[in-house]
Every structure is written in C-alpha cells, then in structure tokens.
C-alpha cells in the first residue's frame, strides 16, 4: 500500500480536465480508470511504475516530452524515486 500522491484540478470544462499530479517517494495515484483519451506532460525527468491487473511496467518520463493514451486504461501510477516527481495530465473530453 502506498501513500496517496497529491493532485490539483487546474481546469475542468466541457472540453478538457487538466490536473497536476505531485509525488513524493512511495506515493501513488491509486487505482483508477481513464474515462477519456489523455495526454501526460512530465514536469521532471524520472521513472514511474505503472501497475495493471496483468503487469508492472517501468515508464521513463522525460521533462516536457508528452505521451498520449486512449480512454479505458485502468492502472495505478507509483513513484519510487528519491525525490519529488510531477506531471500534468490533460483529459480530452470532446
């Protein structure tokens, strides 16, 4: 079990939902399923562990290099690093 990472809702309207996620060592988003396609923009270079029912993947994030995923993804995102980690998540509603 991990401590909960902090998140802050930045924008939530008919088109997008934008959150900033902030992690200390050994914190997690908790298990969640994405309702919408989304883009993640790392604010720092680092590694996250992506845990699904079937696997545990290490994801290398590079500052300001976004990636896109389709809706329906269900996972838990865990940060096991030594210092602070942060990314912006943009969910595309329309």
pLDDT digits over 30-83, tens only?
A: 999 999 999 999 999 999 999 999 999 999 999 999 999 999 999 999 999 999
Q: Name the pTM for this structure.
A: 0.93
Please count the structural domains in the chain: 1
CA atoms within 13 A on the CB side of 82: 0
Q: Is the pLDDT of residue 26 over 90?
A: yes
- Output the pLDDT for position 13: 98
Contact 77, 34 (CB under 8 A): no
The CATH number of the domain holding residue 38 is 2.60.120.10
Confidence grade of residue 1 (pLDDT, cut at 50, 70, 90): confident
- Local structure of residue 5 (DSSP, 8 states): P
The predicted pLDDT at position 12 comes to 99
CA 54 remoteness from chain centre: 18
Determine the pLDDT at residue 15: 98
| pLDDT value at 87 more than 90 | yes
Tell me which residue range forms the domain holding 26.
3-92
CA distance 66 to 43: 10
């Amino acid at each position: 079990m991990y401590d909960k990472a902090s998140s802050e809702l930045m924008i939530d309207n008919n088109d997008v939902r934008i959150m900033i996620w902030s992690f200390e060592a050994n914190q997690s988003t908790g298990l969640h399923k994405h309702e919408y396609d989304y883009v993640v923009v790392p604010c720092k270079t680092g590694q996250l562990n992506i845990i699904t029912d079937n696997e545990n993947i290490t994801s290398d994030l590079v500052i300001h290099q976004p990636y896109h995923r389709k809706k329906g993804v269900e996972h838990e995102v865990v940060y096991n690093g030594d210092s602070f980690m942060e990314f912006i998540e943009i969910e595309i509603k329309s």
